[in-house]
């Protein structure tokens, strides 16, 4: 049953169709009370239909359900048939759907329509007012309460999932940067090994050249030292190059172009960070290293905004491709808390800006960061379209 439940959770149309079929079977229990059985069956077959598509088209199906309920009351009045349709419980289901998946405003509009429908039904079908009003009020109140509870739970789960996705994404980035730093350290060691070995070999070779005629034994010893130093340097060189040949970056990184930026922005929006974007120029045709640089600058800037901009943060991302370069500007609310105690922002290591500067410098661009006169925080990067990658 758990596996079946998890399977249904990913297929809302199937789950809602099963619910609609259950309402159809429930509606058949009132067939014996009707004097117009054919009409009753037609109405009973129509009433569950909106339930099957309630999550795919919540607004349209809610309006259709309300129209079907009003039509049912009118038909029963014209035919003088007072048989009840249990499938009208779908009205409460549609109210629940709107409040939980769309919003309270749409739910209130439907609730007004349901009040009108209930009034028409009571008047036309001469139903007992106290008991009918009490039942309908209690039923709709229960549906609204359940919708509020489940809607809050869904919103909480979505935000937690989004924040976990950002955390995983940030962890992968940090892992990648840690590997890059390790590779830089290995490169420095390689330079030290080669420089030291070559220096020793040059000194010993010069000494052997001068001692070759006067003291052959000394010259022979110097050349032996040169050979041993060369062999040791070659071993170190092979070991270090073997490490550098392996790319430790995850397969999912990097994501280039507008698709990667859209995924990044959507992920940050899921955490509650309001992000406005403006992309101009063809960003999908630029060099991969430039696209990666743009992606990393925006990622680090939005992550810093989420950490330091306090409650209700907002960021503006502007990326513009120009004739010779790409201009990236990310501004945010500047870390001025509107609500909450001071110091509620998340402390960082301070390496993000350093990493951005190093990356942009490698691409031959420039990076400017700082607070603007209005208090907003600005990150502006300019990356050449034809970067001259520096060593």
Number of other residues whose CB lies within 10 A of the CB of residue 378? 16
Angle at 48 between CA 47 and CA 52, to 5 degrees: 140
- Report residue 25's pLDDT band, with 50, 70 and 90 as the boundaries: very high
Determine the Cα–Cα distance for residues 72 and 268; give it in Å rounded to an integer: 47
Residues contacting 28, CB < 8 A, separation 6+: 44
d(CA 142, CA 155): 20
Is pLDDT of 317 > 90? yes
Query: What local confidence, expressed as pLDDT, does residue 319 receive?
Result: 93
Q: Sheet harboring 366-371: ordered strands across?
A: 274-280, 314-321, 325-332, 377-384, 366-371
Mean pLDDT of 27-46: 88
Asked if 77 contacts 36 with a C-beta cutoff of 8 angstroms, the reply is no
Strand bridging mode 314-321 / 274-280:
parallel
Which residues, other chains included, contact 249 with Cβ-Cβ below 8 Å and sequence gap of 6+?
Answer: 176, 179
State pLDDT tens for residues 153-184: 877 877 888 888 888 888 887 888 777 777 76
Q: Are 246 and 288 contacting, i.e. CB atoms less than 8 angstroms apart? A: no
Q: Are 73 and 117 in contact (CB under 8 A)?
A: yes
What DSSP string describes 353-388?
HHHHHHHHHHTT-EEEEEE-TTS-EEEEEEEESS--
Whether residue 336 is predicted with pLDDT greater than 70 in this model: the reply is: no
- Say yes or no to pLDDT of 206 above 80: no
Check pLDDT > 80 for residue 28. yes
> pLDDT band at residue 252, thresholds of 50, 70 and 90?
very low
Q: What is the largest CA-CA distance in the chain?
A: 132
pLDDT at res. 133: 82
Q: Which of 346, 316, 347 is closest to 330 using CA atoms?
A: 316
Which pTM does this prediction carry?
0.52
Which pLDDT belongs to residue 383? 92
* % of the chain with per-residue pLDDT over 70: 82
- Give the model's pLDDT for residue 96: 92
Predicted local distance difference test score (pLDDT) of residue 345: 40
């Amino acid at each position: 049953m758990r596996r079946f439940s998890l399977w249904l959770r990913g297929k809302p149309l199937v789950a809602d169709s099963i619910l609609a079929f259950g309402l159809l079977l429930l509606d058949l229990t009132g067939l014996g009370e009707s004097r117009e059985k054919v009409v009753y069956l037609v109405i009973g077959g129509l009433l569950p239909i909106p339930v099957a598509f309630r999550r795919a088209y919540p607004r349209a199906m809610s309006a259709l359900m309300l129209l079907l309920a009003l039509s049912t009351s009118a038909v029963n009045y014209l035919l003088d048939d007072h048989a009840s349709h249990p499938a009208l419980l779908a009205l409460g289901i549609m109210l629940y759907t709107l409040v939980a998946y769309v919003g309270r405003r749409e739910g209130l509009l439907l609730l007004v329509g349901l009040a009108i429908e209930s009034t028409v039904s009571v008047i036309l079908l001469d139903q007992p007012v106290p008991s009918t009003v009490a039942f309908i009020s209690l039923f709709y109140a229960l549906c609204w309460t359940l919708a509020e509870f489940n809607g809050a739970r869904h919103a909480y789960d979505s935000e937690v999932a989004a924040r976990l996705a950002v955390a995983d994404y940030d962890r992968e980035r940090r892992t990648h940067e840690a590997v890059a730093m390790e590779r830089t350290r290995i490169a420095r060691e390689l330079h030290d090994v080669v420089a030291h070995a070559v220096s020793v070999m040059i000194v010993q070779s010069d000494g052997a050249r001068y001692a070759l005629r006067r003291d052959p034994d000394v010259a022979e010893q110097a050349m032996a030292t040169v050979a041993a130093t060369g062999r040791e340097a070659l071993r170190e060189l092979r070991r270090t190059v073997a490490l550098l040949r392996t790319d430790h970056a995850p397969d999912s990184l990097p994501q280039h172009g507008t698709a990667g930026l859209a995924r990044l922005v959507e992920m940050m929006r899921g955490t509650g960070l309001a992000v406005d974007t403006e992309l101009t120029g063809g960003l999908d045709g630029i060099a991969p290293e430039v696209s990666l640089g743009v992606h990393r600058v925006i990622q680090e800037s939005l992550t810093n905004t989420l950490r330091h901009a306090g409650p209700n943060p907002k960021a503006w991302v502007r990326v513009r491709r120009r004739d010779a370069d790409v201009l990236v500007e990310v501004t945010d609310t500047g870390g001025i808390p509107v609500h909450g105690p001071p110091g509620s922002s998340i402390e960082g290591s301070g390496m993000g800006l350093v990493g951005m500067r190093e990356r942009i410098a490698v691409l031959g661009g420039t990076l400017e960061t700082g607070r603007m006169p209005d208090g907003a925080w600005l990150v502006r990067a300019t990356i050449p379209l034809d970067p001259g990658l520096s060593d």
